[in-house]
Structure 1
């Protein structure tokens, strides 16, 4: 996924979309995530240059804006860099502060599970503005399909029962990431699932695979695990 930078005729709406995605992501998390997201939003709304994709602000200024000490600034800015939300464009040198940039693509990718909390109109809008293929081989990964909760067509009772369990525990996460998976049956003692894109499969493997395996083995202990393909 590549999120188009908020410049040009539709810049205002895209800025609101970015901030809305961050807001929903923060509200869906614990107090630590909420605080980190709020601090990033403060930097974006007060000091970020949208046209040039530049954030030039010293630690003293950031500490004053956030009402914290510089140690907290160092810790949270490091965390934002680890997430890939903030990138260093030019390191500080000779008394000058670093020039930072904002990775809209990484932010929108990481906040995507919370989009259903905003509403189907937001998801539909993001489908037309956020998805741009990075190369020709990834044309099928431009948009991650979202749908209202429905269990994927299942060829096994195992997957149907696992879906019911997963949907009950976290409906919005199920809508966004699990419902689009297709049951392809059992092979070598593993349940085979097909993701709609490589991006979708990568996200599920990284963030949800343990949950999927637990649900599948709960309903059918004879299975050794889940094999996800795209």
Structure 2
């Protein structure tokens, strides 16, 4: 229920006997508890409003159907794209990108949920267990916060 209410975010799914890892979604907790802040006191209300209103705005990106990333410079224009995230991954580790990330196909990104298509279940599981951190970091740098990644076969 906590993940459905977006209070907990799964950072690593439980795969092959591994325990899943979660983190708190402080922004969602703040949104849900905001009506109660004045009940605690005016100073608490002011501090909380200052803390959670001063966050940087979330990037809103209109995504179209993108082709597989090219290992060239990112296209100019727009606040961020799947292609630029893939270019950044290829710069970090070209061999790893060529073996695993170049095969990923972008499907959609809505509400923090990134949908990707993988060429095989093996590739999906390997990315989930070994390469999720660099993938999430590259995508969040271009598209905004990622709460979950869904793979389609």
Shorter-chain TM range is 0.3 to 0.5
Larger Rg: 1
Structure with the higher strand share, 1 or 2: 2
- More relative contact order in 1 or in 2 (CA 8 Å, sep 6+)? 2
- For normalisation by structure 1, the TM-score amounts to 0.31
- For normalisation by structure 2, the TM-score amounts to 0.45
